Structure 1
């Protein structure tokens, strides 16, 4: 039996652990989950759970991870928190017999996390990124805005480093007053307000000004072996108040993720985001981790978390390669829900 540790990560790890256990009929894996919060949802499907000390980071967190691996006899670590730093310390984990299941090499992880660098590199891909210009000062913003606004009707901003869409805003021109808040929604900012913020409080980190893509959004969950795309689920997110997500199979998106797998050496389970624009789909970002909607893949009949873990630990099979890239069948998944009583100590 292989003991696999999932250190601190997002709450959607619950779906990942649940799907692995569903696929692991032979009981080959024992799943260990840790988090600082006793009520963390990921504890429910795990075989074992433990509390992490709060506030650790950097080298101190690496030392904690090494000690935990020794104490709990961990065979493999699927890193969440400090994934890049842990990957850099792979030799130290190997020395104590622990496999680090990182999605990519440290340098590739840095390229993926830095969205300014990634946008520049990915502008030449099969499906390129939206037209993007980085900025840090009001002068740089004004120059970039004048350039992009000449060719694009609507622009948007987001930080060069961030997760879960934090900081993303669509730029609204004009002065709509309070009524504009109702019409434009929470993911917008008035151009005048943005200019004032930049003038008064220039950002400490780089931000991106981008063309806004108004079409359908696609979230692709994928498994790679570092060179080749093994399996893929393409989720088209519902818009306009519709429910659920549509599982599709677009060849252009499959080709794009195959290119990403090879270029960045993506191994195991990862996610890529695309959105339709005036000239077709554009690549938004690659997340070297599982996505928030990973549960939809199980409902669509393709158990990517189990496939990834089995492939990483035991190697992908000849059948895996014969079927690659395996795609989930076209369907609509309305909801992924799970109800289970779980009590925690007060």
Structure 2
């Protein structure tokens, strides 16, 4: 039995662990989960769990991880927190018999996490990124806004580095008072207010000004072997917040993810985001980690977390290559599976 450690990450790791357990009929893997919060939901689906020291980062966190691997007989690390740094130190982990399950090289991870660099790199792909200009100052914003606004009716912005839509805002030019606040919700900002903020409080990091894509969003959960796409589930999240998600199979999105897999050398489980615009779908980002909605893939019969873990540990077999890419069948998923308590402690 291979002891696999999932260090601090998002609460959706509970779905990942549950799906791996469902696919692991021969009990190949012992799943270990750690987090600083004693009530972390991922503990419920792990074979063993333990608390991490809070507020640890950088080189100190790497040393903690190395010691944890030694004392708990870890054989494989599926990195969450400090993923890039842990991948950079994979030789040190290999020296103590631990395989770091990296989606990509440290250089590629750095590119994927930097949305400004990624937008430039991916602008020439089969499905390109939306029109994007990076800015840091009020003057740079004004220049970018004038250029993009002459082409696109609505623009939006987000930080060049961030996760789960942090900082994303649609820019509204009109002034609609309090009624506008109710209609636009939390994800918009008035142009005048934005300009004032940029003058009074210039950002410390790079931001991206982009064309706004008003159509459906597509979240694609994928497994690659470092060269080609092995399996793929395409989830459509309807614009306007419709209930549930549709599992679809659009050939152009499959082609785009295949291209990304080969270009960036992606292996294991990762996520790709697209959104429909006035000129078709556009590539938003590649997340070198499992997605927040990975649980929606469970009912499709295509167990991506188990397929990724088995492939990374045992190697992707000839059948995986022959069937690639395997696609989840079209369906509608209204509810996530209810997870069971499994207990366990380190």
- Do the aligned residues in 2 keep the contact of 1:38 with 1:344 (CA within 8 Å)? no
Residues 187-226 of structure 1: matches in 2 within 5 Å? 187-226=187-226
RMSD of Structure 2 on Structure 1 (CA): 1.3
1:214-251 CA distance string (max 9 Å, x none)? 11100000000010000000000133342111001111
- Do the aligned residues in 2 keep the contact of 1:217 with 1:275 (CA within 8 Å)? yes
Residues 143-154 of structure 1: matches in 2 within 5 Å? 143-154=143-154
Secondary structure, aligned partner of 1:62: helix
Secondary structure, aligned partner of 1:108: helix
Residues 17-32 of structure 1: matches in 2 within 5 Å? 17-32=17-32
* Distance across 2 between alignment mates of 1:116 and 1:140: 14
1:338 corresponds to 2:338: yes
Secondary structure, aligned partner of 2:50: strand
Runs (4 or more) in structure 1 with deviation over 6 Å come to 342-345
- Do the aligned residues in 2 keep the contact of 1:77 with 1:99 (CA within 8 Å)? yes
Query: Which residue of 1 is the match for residue 8 of structure 2?
Result: 8
Query: Which residue of 2 is the match for residue 271 of structure 1?
Result: 271
1:98 corresponds to 2:98: yes
Query: Which residue of 1 is the match for residue 304 of structure 2?
Result: 304
* Distance across 2 between alignment mates of 1:241 and 1:149: 27
Q: Scaled by the length of structure 1, what TM-score is found?
A: 0.98
**Cα 1:335–1:206 shift into 2, 3 Å:** same
1:161-219 CA distance string (max 9 Å, x none)? 00000000000002212211011111000000000000000000000000000111000
Query: Which residue of 2 is the match for residue 164 of structure 1?
Result: 164
Query: Which residue of 2 is the match for residue 179 of structure 1?
Result: 179
Q: Scaled by the length of structure 2, what TM-score is found?
A: 0.98
**Cα 1:342–1:5 shift into 2, 3 Å:** closer
Q: Which runs of 5+ in 1 are unaligned?
A: none
Q: How many residues align?
A: 345
1:303-332 CA distance string (max 9 Å, x none)? 000000000000111111111000000100
Secondary structure, aligned partner of 2:125: coil
* Distance across 2 between alignment mates of 1:74 and 1:134: 42
The structure with higher relative contact order (CA 8 Å, sep 6+) is: 2
- Do the aligned residues in 1 keep the contact of 2:132 with 2:211 (CA within 8 Å)? yes
Query: Which residue of 2 is the match for residue 124 of structure 1?
Result: 124
- Do the aligned residues in 1 keep the contact of 2:298 with 2:337 (CA within 8 Å)? no
Query: Which residue of 2 is the match for residue 87 of structure 1?
Result: 87
**Cα 1:341–1:269 shift into 2, 3 Å:** closer
* Distance across 2 between alignment mates of 1:281 and 1:343: 43
